[in-house]
Amino acid sequence: MTTSTRGRWTGWWYLPVTILSLGILAWVPFVHAAVRLRRPRIHLWAVLYFAVLVAVLAVLPPADPTPTPADDTRSAIGGAVMIAMIALASVQQHFLRRRASTPRPAAPPEDPAVARVKAARERRRQARELAANDPAMARELRIGRPDLPRDYDDGGLVDLNAAPATAIAQTCAVDPAVAQQIVDARAGARFSAVDDVFALTELPLDTWDAIRERGIVV
Q: Full-prediction pTM beyond 0.75?
A: no
**Which pLDDT tens digit goes with each residue over 93-136?**
888 877 766 666 677 888 999 999 999 999 999 999 999 999 99
What is the pLDDT, as a whole number, of residue 169? 97
What is the pLDDT, as a whole number, of residue 77? 85
What is the pLDDT, as a whole number, of residue 131? 96
Residue type, 106: A
What is the pLDDT, as a whole number, of residue 174? 96
- Contact by Cβ (8 Å): 84, 26: no
**Which pLDDT tens digit goes with each residue over 149-172?**
999 999 999 999 999 999 999 999
DSSP letters spanning 119-183: HHHHHHHHHHHHHHH-HHHHHHTTTT-TTS--S---SS-EETTTS-HHHHHHHHT--HHHHHHHH
User: What is the C-alpha radius of gyration for the chain, rounded to an integer number of angstroms?
Assistant: 34
What is the pLDDT, as a whole number, of residue 213? 96
For residue 6, name the pLDDT band (cuts at 50, 70, 90): very low
